[in-house]
A and B are shown apart, each in its own frame.
Chain A
Amino acid sequence: DAEITQSPRHKITETGRQVTLACHQTWNHNNMFWYRQDLGHGLRLIHYSYGVQDTNKGEVSDGYSVSRSNTEDLPLTLESAASSQTSVYFCASTGTSGDEQYFGPGTRLTVT
């Protein structure tokens, strides 16, 4: 069965360190998204990609970057982790119809 996976599931890091969160999907979807979830805010879009070599900034992109070198993967990098980036991060993908976004299980990131 097709799926979307994220790793690691939990991560603790220190302020100022670079962190990369992995996202891998086997749906063969062109469209991929990174969200962060914080209490009281729902999900907020960080970055998204509509295909290989395509990346775009979302609502809360400061301090984050992504790259898309193939269809399956969209890694999210925190260049210099800050305590404000402590959150749960979700990766999602959708196909051409956009009928449904399929979500990974989430990564809980704590920045100390």
Chain B
Amino acid sequence: AQTVTQSQPEMSVQEAETVTLSCTYDTSESDYYLFWYKQPPSRQMILVIRQEAYKQQNATENRFSVNFQKAAKSFSLKISDSQLGDAAMYFCAYRRNSNYQLIWGAGTKLIIKP
């Protein structure tokens, strides 16, 4: 069975600095998708970034980028120039290509220090 592990329950970073959130996963599949979702205090789940496993190039969305290491089954999220609005829970998720179900990590709480 596939599993997703986020080993950092909480991280803190100074405003304007860079922070990296870790995620590892376990799968025997070769074709899959990985996601980072953000959940601010409002509780709304928001997609941050998506990576297709068949793509070697790391996905980027403005200040957010990933380091996808397929062989190591690692999928970390880098947030550059951290802003106060980045404070939230961040969840890593995995989806097999053959279905639509997401498997979630336990989340990392990101604190931004002003």
Query: Which B residues from 45 to 88 make CB contacts under 8 A with A?
Result: 45, 47, 50
Contact A50 B50 (CB under 8 A): no
Rounded to whole Å, the gap between the CB of B79 and the closest CB of chain A is 19
| Chain B interface mostly | loop
Give A101 to B45 CA distance when docked, in angstroms.
9
- The segment from A13-21, A38-46, A61-69, A70-78 that touches chain B is A38-46
Give A105 to B44 CA distance when docked, in angstroms.
5
Contact B91 A43 (CB under 8 A): yes
For B, the interface residue count at a CB cutoff of 8 angstroms equals 18
Does any Cβ of A come within 8 Å of B11's Cβ? Answer: no
**Which residues on B sit within 8 Å (CB–CB) of A33?**
100-102
Name the residue in B35, B43, B50 with the highest tally of chain A Cβ atoms < 10 Å from its Cβ: B43
Give A31 to B100 CA distance when docked, in angstroms.
8
- Of A45, A99, A103, the residue contacting B45 (CB under 8 A) is A103
Contact A43 B102 (CB under 8 A): yes
Contact B91 A42 (CB under 8 A): yes
Can you offer 11 A-B residue contacts whose CB atoms are under 8 A?
A33-B102, A40-B106, A42-B91, A42-B105, A43-B104, A90-B45, A100-B50, A101-B47, A101-B100, A103-B45, A106-B43
The 4 A-B pairs at the shortest CB distance, nearest first, are namely: A42-B104, A103-B45, A43-B104, A42-B106
**A contact residues vs B (CB 8 Å cutoff):** 31, 33, 40-45, 48, 50, 58, 88, 90, 92, 94, 98-101, 103, 105-106
